[in-house]
Structure 1
Amino acid sequence: MSNQQYEETLEEQSNKELASILGISYDELCQLEWDVDTNESSDGLIYDYIYTFRDDSNLEILKKIQGIDIEGRYVYLQPWEFESDYCESDYYESEIAWDIESSEQLSVLENHLNSIINLTKIVVDEPTKIDLFVMLHAHIVAAMEKFLSATFIHEVANSGDLIRKLLETDPKIGEKKLTLKYIYKEHKKIETIVAEYLKDLTFHRLKKTKEMYKQVLDIDFENIGWFFKAIKVRHHCVHRAGSDKEGKRVNITKESIIKLVDDCKELSTLISSEIGK
């Protein structure tokens, strides 16, 4: 087998796996074209992959894709979805353990946000400043989403009452069948199983996140239209380097960065104070 044939075989296997993850057939996937970006932290930790399908993609096929934002034609996929043994890796296990055990989610977020404020003070030329603000906006949203995810997992996984409440309000995990053989083989406690389930959820779907916080933790975000808008702008930052579909630059300024940081601090402080009651 030539190198080209080998690469083509690997690509076909990869695409078949992607089709399975998306919930469509391999033939349907072959009719689509897409771009891939990553959503990651400042230290290179990949939260997820963002698949954006071309504007001329078959809409009927796109509608079959699990979890897709049909208007934006994009879907978030997490790294461990691509490898059957990923959940057994040291990295994944350490992430789960941190989410369950650590209660420092607020301080971690605040460190990110404070660093971002410091970065806005750097003196650079105008083109560089524009690109810097684009990256900072995306980083703020990613840091806030990580806070929402880790905080929820920590609180629920460490409370029998909240685990029961989650089971009552989330039909998917409530209907999950766990055999004694599975529990014995995996040596997993219920809190770890719950944490893994929550870890696999995408906390980019803010409407779902808001509902879960309200139903399980009894915390109401109230008016967070600003964060919905920030997520939409982040999409332009990640996929088009700060431009919308028409090629127009999104309006991200030092002032908007500071305002977004302040709003995130206010929301995260509200959540932490409600949890502490």
Structure 2
Amino acid sequence: MQTYPIKAVPRMLLAQYFSAIEAYLSDRLIGLISSDDAALASLVKNNIEWRDEKISVAELAANPNALKEWVKKRLLDLIYHNFTKIDMYYRNSLGSTIFPDTDSKTTLMRFLPIRHDCVHRYGRDKDGNERNITDVELDELSGALQAVVRHVESAFEARDPISP
């Protein structure tokens, strides 16, 4: 097991792992919606959170990109470590889950509260106990995150974009 000169380094690494996957999921989803009208239409039609949202006809007439801009703004506002919600967005637009398997999903969900403690409580749980992150745990999280990226990339490669 590696020893770090500063005890916070493993916690900082864990937070950075999450930052990296959040940026990846955000960039890929926004890129998909920006470049694929069928994915955009599918996301809008199937997203239950947006069911009651309205865009005026005048706004659409004044700006043919109004819908795409409206969706992009909402995608930029998402919290991408809310994996369950982000999975729904990917299912609705890409037609694929972000989770390659149950084990990867379970691992990510198990590390979410640890991430929260590392980011918002300087590595302490709500009782004040310090979180000690091991190299084994970092490797486990890294493996799950890499599996997510490989799975999402496979879904992108397998898709057959069709215009709406």
Q: TM-score range by the shorter chain?
A: 0.7 to 0.9
1:187/1:213 CA distance change after superposition, 3 Å:
closer
Q: Which residue of 1 aligns with 2:118?
A: 237
2:135 corresponds to 1:258: no
> Normalized against structure 1, the TM-score is what?
0.50
Question: Could you tell me whether the CA contact under 8 Å between 1:158 and 1:191 is conserved in 2?
Answer: no
Question: Could you tell me whether the CA contact under 8 Å between 1:141 and 1:230 is conserved in 2?
Answer: no
2:53 corresponds to 1:163: no
Question: Could you tell me whether the CA contact under 8 Å between 1:242 and 1:249 is conserved in 2?
Answer: yes
Q: Which of residues 193, 197, 202 is equivalent to 2:74?
A: 197
Runs of 4+ in 1 over 6 A off after TM superposition: none
How many residue pairs end up in the alignment? 154
Q: Partners in 2 of 1:180 and 1:213 — Cα distance?
A: 28
What's the offset of the Cα at 1:135? 0.8
> Normalized against structure 2, the TM-score is what?
0.80
The one-letter code of the counterpart of 1:142 is S
Q: Which residue of 2 aligns with 1:62?
A: none
The one-letter code of the counterpart of 2:147 is E
Q: Partners in 1 of 2:57 and 2:95 — Cα distance?
A: 32
The one-letter code of the counterpart of 1:274 is A
What's the offset of the Cα at 1:158? 1.5
Q: Which residue of 2 aligns with 1:65?
A: none
Q: Partners in 1 of 2:66 and 2:59 — Cα distance?
A: 11
Q: Which of residues 84, 87, 95 is equivalent to 1:207?
A: 84
The one-letter code of the counterpart of 1:200 is D
Q: Which residue of 1 aligns with 2:55?
A: 178
1:211/1:243 CA distance change after superposition, 3 Å:
same
**Highest relative contact order (Cα 8 Å, sep 6+), 1 or 2?**
2
Q: Which of residues 96, 120, 145 is equivalent to 2:22?
A: 145
The one-letter code of the counterpart of 1:154 is G
Give 5+ residue unaligned stretches, structure 2: 159-164
The CA deviation string for residues 212-247 of structure 1, in whole angstroms up to 9 with x for no partner, is 222332212142011112221011101221111222
What's the offset of the Cα at 1:189? 4.5
Greater CA drift, 180-189 or 208-217: 180-189
What's the offset of the Cα at 1:124? 4.4
Q: Which residue of 2 aligns with 1:216?
A: 93
What's the offset of the Cα at 1:263? 1.8
What's the offset of the Cα at 1:271? 0.6
Question: Could you tell me whether the CA contact under 8 Å between 2:47 and 2:92 is conserved in 1?
Answer: no
Higher helix share: 2
Higher strand share: 1
Q: Which residue of 2 aligns with 1:88?
A: none
Question: Could you tell me whether the CA contact under 8 Å between 1:153 and 1:198 is conserved in 2?
Answer: yes
Question: Could you tell me whether the CA contact under 8 Å between 1:157 and 1:194 is conserved in 2?
Answer: no
Give 5+ residue unaligned stretches, structure 1: 1-119
Identity of aligned residues (%): 22
1:184/1:275 CA distance change after superposition, 3 Å:
same
What's the offset of the Cα at 1:162? 1.2
Instruction: Please show how residues 17-166 of structure 1 align to structure 2 within 5 Å.
Output: 124-125=4-5, 128=6, 130-166=7-43
Q: Partners in 2 of 1:225 and 1:124 — Cα distance?
A: 28
